[in-house]
Amino acid sequence: MIPEVKKEFCMYLGPNIVGVIQTARVFRGSKYEVCQQLADAIEKYPGIKDLIIPGSRLAEDRPKISTPGTLLNDAYIKLAKSVMSAKMGASKKAR
């Protein structure tokens, strides 16, 4: 018997975080499985979890990332600010 191939996938629609995750990265598996794979990144940047979109919702949710006032837009902005403040903190420590 041939094993069933998983067809589920998710895409990360958040900002690029250098050394952590890239915008529009595609992952195989359910959102739960993807979040398990990214546990270390999510621990450092919890907002990543909100911006991992299941393939079944991608067409509906992708435009919401750039639509002001939507939950996904708010999550994107919050994560982007978090990444920027982490970068600023790291560059101040390097001085």
pLDDT for position 88: 80
Give the Cα separation of 40 and 48 in Å (integer).
11
pLDDT at 6 over 70: no
Mean pLDDT of the region 66-77: 97
pLDDT tens digits, residue range 32-71? 999 999 999 999 999 999 999 999 999 999 999 999 999 9
93 Cβ contact partners less than 8 Å away, ≥ 6 residues apart = none
DSSP alpha helix (H) spans, the chain: 31-37, 39-44, 58-61, 71-94
Give the Cα separation of 32 and 95 in Å (integer).
39
Contact 64, 76 (CB under 8 A): no
- Structural domain boundaries of the chain? 9-94
